[in-house]
Structure 1
Amino acid sequence: MLFTLGLSAQSIKSPNGNFNLTFELKDGVPVYQLSMGGEPIVKESKLGLELKDTPSLLGGFTIENTEESTFDETWQPVWGEVKDIRNHYNELAVTLNQKETARKMIIRFRVFDDGLGFRYEFPEQDNLIYFVIKEERTQFAMTGDHTAYWIPGDFDTQEYEYNTSKMSEIRALMAGAMRGNASTTTFSDTGVQTSLLLKTDNGTFINLHEAALIEYSCMHLELDDENMIFESYLTPDAVGNKGYMQAPRVTPWRTVIASKNAGDILMSHITLNLNEPCAYDDTSWIKPVKYVGVWWEMITGKSDWAYTSLPAVQLGKTDFSETTPSGRHGATTENVKRYIDFAAEHGFDAVLVEGWNEGWEDWIGKSKDYVFDFLTPYPDFDVDEVREYAKAKGVKMMMHHETSGAVRNYERHMDKAYQFMVDNGYNSVKSGYVGNIIPRGEHHYGQWLVNHYQYAVEKAAEYKIMVNAHEAVRPTGLSRTYPNLIANESARGTEYEAFVGTKAEHTTILPFTRLIGGPMDYTPGIFQTDISKINPDRDTFVHTTLARQLALYVTMYSPLQMAADLPEHYEQHMDAFQFIKDVAIDWDDTKVLEAEPGDFITYARKAKGTENWFVGRTNDEIGRTSKIKFDFLDADKKYIATIYSDAKDAHYETNPQAYEIKKVIVTSKSKLSQYCAPGGGYAISIMEVKDKSELKGLKRL
């Protein structure tokens, strides 16, 4: 497994021998290389950190010790895409000694059958205790001018559409890739965010990301486009420092996933495996959630979060019972009860309500420290009545905490807010961090905020509450350790479809990038794609067919799934809505049947504890024919497949609601050739036949 190449060079292979990691010192500088099947993936790349006001950890090293080991386990996630996950790697730990400073640093490499993880470790020692990181200088030297699927490097948002270009074109395209946001801070003409997907000219897919981001700043990548080298670029704090460290301490893992098969990138578990096992002894309170909510009507402008039209309010001083309601408030008791009724009738677990609490009149862009207390409802939202009504209907309520970026204020109120949730039957919270952060000058992805997000998740666990954080740092597999982190947003979600629209290819790229770190609360299920039909003042539309909206419940993996549209729109298409009701949100197995980033993805997933499968296909703006086999099915069983597909004349721009539904008999020998419209796709529910009478009148596929 471990091979000594020279006085200061070692090589370690993956368990299956496909990947080979080489490490050595060159003139005292640590460097590594990674190859796959004998083909270079990462060329010679430097490692180390630049420190503030003290000598760097970039060179002057000798190798003091090397240790190698093998690890192999199979573990079961609390929720996930598969029932069992194998964690199998060969490890090389290199202890470096910087002679002039008598400081030590360990670089630990783990080589898996699908890629590499490595991190820096700072053991307890006399000459390196407290230190400040000026910059991490981890390099990923590419072997050529690869195709990149990228979004601009930004310390405050990931809510961008993806760009597909050669690495060498990033600089020229960067200005056009920028988009306005409530908080945005870009830093470079060649800076991009992880998870970054690359494709070489010979068809090798490479993903660069990080795992186990704790007590550290989020990593971006800055491209040296003359030499095709990406180098880590950490998010700074308010005074420009990148990280405050106290040994003993470790950094997050830097990850490289690679394969000739795009589907292998999607099914890699490296990010999860590099995180620690579950921190909780009891996880019985952590359950996947399918929900509806008072949200899309505000996003589209049909109603509003605010109770009044006042230009300014002050919590605790403004008496809302004495103000005049605007008449546009969405979170009224009666309206919420309507959603509860819909959830109860159709078997949904929970109802989200946004805009229920005082303060929404002037919350954004004002740099106010005290906007919300997360406890005080508007006069037209009766907490007690809603609680009892939902309880009687067997529906949970989902809390909403918008912090407005005022993080100190949220932490001051957090215990009372979580206790309020417990007292009123809320076991999950959607938290938001819209706008610039307070303390002023801090960024959404800096160490200070990373620590806050972690605090919020661990504090929520004390109250047995699940967290769905929006505008927070993108996930890095921490859901393995803290499975009550049930979802994040941290990308451009469906809401942008109501604002300015999003390219149809977006959902064919996200699983290769953002979802590598963990599930996303993408909020699919939009049936009325013409926003002007909801709000005449909005001339926008959702770039999708109705059939593809069904597919997203399979292709955009999450244990938290929202039926995001208005109840009345589902009532107009109850035959198609049936798929949303049927589709599972927790899985025993997952297969990637077809995949090409930017073009299409087709998944098949087996529902937890059943023999039922669900298939989803999401397509870009080009019409295509999908061809799949059903060989993932049990060879001894028959199934009824309900296929929800685009009609022949469907098109995301001109005829998005044209769909067809048909039922057929399928077995493991069945094959399907299915047309997918521009911006379209299909969804299939595959139910095991329990009684032969179910087959009557159905044809075999």
Structure 2
Amino acid sequence: MKKLLSALILFAGMSLHAQQVTSPDKNVSLTFSLSAKGEPVYALTYKNKPVIKTSKLGIDTKDIPAMLDGFAIDKTETATFDETWAPVWGEQKSIRNNYNELLVTLSQKAVGGRYIRIRFRVFNDGLGFRYEFPEQKDLNYFIIKEERTQFALAGDHKAFWLPGDYDTQEYSTTTSNLSEVRGKMKTAVTPNASQETFSPTGLQTPLMLKSKDGLYINIHEAALVDYSCLSLNLDDKNMVLESWLTPDAVGNKGYIQASAQSPWRTVIVSDKAGDILLSKTILNLNEPTKFKDVSWIKPVKYVGVWWEMITGKSTWAYNDLTNVHLGDLDYSKTKPNGKHAANTAHVKEYIDFAAKNGFDGVLVEGWNEGWEDWFGKSKDYVFDFVTPYPDFDVQELHRYAASKGIKMIMHHETSGSVRNYERHLDKAYQFMADNGYNAVKSGYVGDIIPRGEYHYGQFMVNHYLYAVTEAAKYKIMVNAHEAVRPTGLARTYPNLIGNEAARGTEYESFGGNNPDHTTILPFTRLMGGPMDYTPGIFQTRINAYNPENSSYVHTTLVKQLALYVTMYSPLQMAADLPETYNKFMDAFQFIKDVAVDWDATYVLEAEPGDYITMARKAKGKDEWYVGAITDENARTATINFDFLPKGKTFTATIYADGADASFDKNPQSYAIRTIKVTSKTKLTQKLAPGGGAAISIK
């Protein structure tokens, strides 16, 4: 059902008193007005508690008068909207989009009556607002010097933050009061293949906050298109966050041609942590899908030739040469290093394992020429994305995988050379289509070429979307790594089936992720869309694969199972090696069973940085799955089964940490038991330090 009511109030240039709009349930209230200087300002409350105090809005421009002050309100328009829509894939079968809207038209008499619009949408769980630039005589083409959107906070909130960076989100989350950010920034910035921090108080979005009076607040953006990625700079004396956009190679932060609009700036708020996890406001602020036919877009559970290379057991490269020019080398005349994993025989082993255990696909990295000599070299032409190494038979593997009912997932590492990738993109996608690949994992490791551009600038934002829309022409799904963090665009372009854009499982082999890492990511990185976190590591001691690597996974084996429920993605990898899974087939059964597409999601208990317990109903099935995870502290999870249909009895298989389990000392200790449950069942389940629990209900 869709309902749209509008009212128009004309003011003929007269000044307006404050305008107020509340959410449909009356809990969230937005107030908009102009200051004495004609500055647009807004404030937000939740259940009469301040969320955002009076904060300025505006755009500072480089080549035309700024859009910061001197405004008058020409008119306001209000509307109410209510619809229910069905995502192509997702955490829920249907999503309600219900908001009250205020659209304010502002004019600047000093600039020939130039006008802009600010559109506010107030949902039951928060706010979205954006700037709109209609085409007009005095506003055509302009350059953004900086966006001046403020979020004035009501106190020194507890924050779950990443250092502000133009090039990476692959940091561990730091938890501290906002007043402590400056003092903790130096240790929070750890090495990465590409990074560019911008301020001692710079922060990334999504930014998760908790106030001292119990409000959970999340600040992010939605529908990032043809605009620079939003970060925040903290005035730690006044507790004011202000927008900070990623610049381009010459320092400009955006090139706008009217008619145009900014992404939505989002503030999600609740007095319950679980409501933040269930929010669909960011998705609702994106447009419906652009595709008429979505039948080719399918959630995927996959295995792949990847973890053995991350751990150092094997290599992406075919040989050990160190001075390679693509096209000048006949690889068949070089000596293989004997550790190249992407060879035909080995990949067939993964295909066999996938087929035997009911998986959908197999990812292969390191299949194509060029891996020997690129990392950190800033070379423009490294890969052509169509030429395999001599030991990788594309056509034979296509035939073999098809005979087993398995789809192959191709890997495109761009080496940061975006110009080169776009040069080869159509040919690469056609090559995929010709050889039975319907999904690609793209990578953007290293500094961006053209040099001086950043991963999160307008140039790259446009590139990522270009790659997705071009892929759709070939019915290819995209899983982009090292790309900009998602902002709900998967609603509009549902072939964007996965993203990395955060510190993933690979870091467990690079020194480890903190035990609280995955209790925070759903409140931060996952707010804008799913993450290809690549869980399922059973052999948690990396030296079992590579004696020279002393890292270990900072979870128990059972927590790895629980992540399939708590870390939502329609693209889920069983990331460990087949030979390891064959040793733990009773525990591996949960990975085989767990769904990747859902009818309903329930948050049973949650606290960012401490614990999450979630339940989900599998799409189109009478099956439910529960995941409970904790940080480095042991705890007892309380699991209420009232999400089950009333009056029926189900069989629950519980995968639990062993009595002596812990992430650092005994991670592979687990126990499996079966009980009968109904909607009235309440279970208390112990979780080991860094541990979890996983339950399948049928």
TM-score class normalised by the smaller sequence: over 0.9
Contact 2:559/2:690 (<8 A) preserved: yes
* 1:39 to 2:27 alignment: no
Cα drift, residue 636 of structure 1: 2.4
Contact 1:551/1:681 (<8 A) preserved: yes
Aligned match of 1:630 in 632, 638, 641? 641
2:115: which partner in 1?
A: 104
* 1:485 to 2:496 alignment: yes
Distance 1:638 1:420 in 2: 51
Cα drift, residue 373 of structure 1: 0.3
2:32: which partner in 1?
A: 23
Cα drift, residue 314 of structure 1: 1.2
The answer for unaligned runs of 5 or more in structure 1 is: 688-701
Distance 1:428 1:637 in 2: 40
* 1:89 to 2:99 alignment: yes
Please give the secondary structure, in 1, of the residue aligned with 2:110.
Answer: coil
2:23: which partner in 1?
A: 14
Distance 1:8 1:255 in 2: 24
Which residues in structure 2 correspond to 1:77-476 (within 5 Å)? 77-101=87-111, 102-476=113-487
Please give the secondary structure, in 2, of the residue aligned with 1:361.
Answer: coil
Superposed CA deviations along residues 533-580 of structure 1, whole A, max 9, x for unmatched, are 110000110000000000000000000000000001100100000000
Contact 1:236/1:242 (<8 A) preserved: yes
Please give the secondary structure, in 1, of the residue aligned with 2:186.
Answer: helix
Contact 1:295/1:564 (<8 A) preserved: yes
Cα drift, residue 54 of structure 1: 2.0
Distance 1:53 1:15 in 2: 41
Distance 1:202 1:672 in 2: 30
Cα drift, residue 651 of structure 1: 0.4
Please give the secondary structure, in 2, of the residue aligned with 1:362.
Answer: coil
Contact 2:385/2:424 (<8 A) preserved: yes
Cα drift, residue 9 of structure 1: 1.7
Q: Which amino acid is the alignment partner of residue 39 of structure 1?
A: K
Cα drift, residue 184 of structure 1: 0.3
Contact 1:73/1:88 (<8 A) preserved: yes
2:85: which partner in 1?
A: 75
Identify which range, 47-56 or 134-143, moves more after superposition. Answer: 47-56
Cα drift, residue 121 of structure 1: 0.1
Superposed CA deviations along residues 340-393 of structure 1, whole A, max 9, x for unmatched, are 000010010000000000000011111111100000000000111111111111
* 1:544 to 2:551 alignment: no
Superposed CA deviations along residues 630-665 of structure 1, whole A, max 9, x for unmatched, are 000001221100000001110000000000000111
Please give the secondary structure, in 2, of the residue aligned with 1:341.
Answer: helix
2:61: which partner in 1?
A: 51
Distance 2:410 2:385 in 1: 9
Please give the secondary structure, in 2, of the residue aligned with 1:298.
Answer: helix
2:3: which partner in 1?
A: none
Contact 1:8/1:63 (<8 A) preserved: no
Cα drift, residue 7 of structure 1: 2.6
Distance 2:63 2:601 in 1: 50
Q: With structure 1 as the length reference, what TM-score do the two structures score?
A: 0.97
Contact 2:16/2:73 (<8 A) preserved: no
* 1:561 to 2:568 alignment: no
Distance 1:615 1:457 in 2: 32
The answer for unaligned runs of 5 or more in structure 2 is: 1-5
1:699: which partner in 2?
A: none
Distance 2:508 2:99 in 1: 42
Contact 2:541/2:551 (<8 A) preserved: yes
1:657: which partner in 2?
A: 668
Distance 1:669 1:2 in 2: 48
Please give the secondary structure, in 1, of the residue aligned with 2:615.
Answer: strand
* 1:514 to 2:525 alignment: yes
Distance 1:389 1:312 in 2: 34
Cα drift, residue 6 of structure 1: 7.9
Q: Which amino acid is the alignment partner of residue 73 of structure 2?
A: I
Distance 2:19 2:64 in 1: 29
Please give the secondary structure, in 2, of the residue aligned with 1:326.
Answer: coil
Contact 2:7/2:77 (<8 A) preserved: no
Please give the secondary structure, in 1, of the residue aligned with 2:80.
Answer: strand
1:534: which partner in 2?
A: 545
Q: Which amino acid is the alignment partner of residue 678 of structure 2?
A: T
Contact 1:193/1:220 (<8 A) preserved: yes
Cα drift, residue 628 of structure 1: 1.4
Please give the secondary structure, in 1, of the residue aligned with 2:351.
Answer: helix
Distance 2:17 2:414 in 1: 51
Q: Which amino acid is the alignment partner of residue 7 of structure 1?
A: L
Contact 1:3/1:10 (<8 A) preserved: no
Which residues in structure 2 correspond to 1:602-641 (within 5 Å)? 602-641=613-652
Classify 1:257/1:3 alpha carbon distance in 2 versus 1 (closer, same or farther; 3 Å): farther
Please give the secondary structure, in 2, of the residue aligned with 1:654.
Answer: coil
Cα drift, residue 2 of structure 1: 9.2
Contact 1:135/1:234 (<8 A) preserved: yes
Superposed CA deviations along residues 583-619 of structure 1, whole A, max 9, x for unmatched, are 0000000000010000000100000001110000111
Distance 1:2 1:197 in 2: 35
Q: Which amino acid is the alignment partner of residue 87 of structure 1?
A: N
Distance 1:651 1:10 in 2: 55
Distance 1:486 1:371 in 2: 26
Please give the secondary structure, in 1, of the residue aligned with 2:372.
Answer: helix
Distance 2:294 2:51 in 1: 39
Contact 2:15/2:72 (<8 A) preserved: no
Q: With structure 2 as the length reference, what TM-score do the two structures score?
A: 0.98
Classify 1:3/1:655 alpha carbon distance in 2 versus 1 (closer, same or farther; 3 Å): farther
Cα drift, residue 203 of structure 1: 1.1
Aligned match of 1:496 in 490, 507, 529? 507
Distance 1:400 1:567 in 2: 20
Cα drift, residue 3 of structure 1: 13
Please give the secondary structure, in 1, of the residue aligned with 2:651.
Answer: strand
Q: Which amino acid is the alignment partner of residue 10 of structure 1?
A: Q
1:697: which partner in 2?
A: none
Shift >6 Å, 4+ stretches: 1-6
Cα drift, residue 315 of structure 1: 1.1
Matched residue count: 687
Superposed CA deviations along residues 457-491 of structure 1, whole A, max 9, x for unmatched, are 00000000000000000000000000000010000
Cα drift, residue 429 of structure 1: 0.3
Superposed CA deviations along residues 258-307 of structure 1, whole A, max 9, x for unmatched, are 00000000000000000000100100000000000000000000000000
Distance 1:320 1:363 in 2: 16
Classify 1:371/1:355 alpha carbon distance in 2 versus 1 (closer, same or farther; 3 Å): same
